[in-house]
Amino acid sequence: MNPDAGSDVTLTEQVVCRQCFQTASITLGYGDVNGALRSWESFFCPHCRLTWESDDIGFLQPEPRTRMLEAHGEWTVRIGGRKVGV
Ligand SMILES: [Zn+2]
């Protein structure tokens, strides 16, 4: 885990391509975009070049959320910026 990697949390997994049945990768990302929670998934197969992406706004759906929690544990969100002194 790298705390300097930015606000997006990503998780890449090896999966079996549904088209050519070889090893492909799927990346699940979750982060802040202009103040809104956004999640996305990106699939890429290097063998047959199949790709797809999906996006969602708001909290993760239960299934990717479980995967994300297993990989990264529970997170506490801290609001950026500093308190202005009086
Ligand atoms: Zn493929």
Q: What are the tens digits of pLDDT across the range 12-62?
A: 999 999 999 999 999 999 888 888 888 899 999 999 999 999 998 887 778
Q: Poorest-confidence range of 3-7, 28-32, 76-80?
A: 3-7
What is the reported pLDDT for 56? 87
**Overall fold of domain 9-70:** N-terminal domain of TfIIb (2.20.25)
SS3 of the chain: helix, strand, coil, percent, to 5: 15, 40, 45
- Ligand 1 centroid–CA 54 distance in Å is 18
Residue 14: C-alpha distances to residues 44, 82, 86 (Å):
10, 40, 52
Torsion sign across C-alpha atoms 31, 33, 37, 43: negative
- Ligand 1 centroid–CA 55 distance in Å is 21
Higher pLDDT, 57 or 79: 57
Given a contact cutoff of 8 angstroms between Cβ atoms, the answer to whether 2 and 13 are in contact is: no
State the Cα angle at 66 between 65 and 71, rounded to 5°: 95
Please indicate, yes or no, whether the overall pTM of this predicted structure exceeds 0.95.
no
- Ligand 1 centroid–CA 23 distance in Å is 7
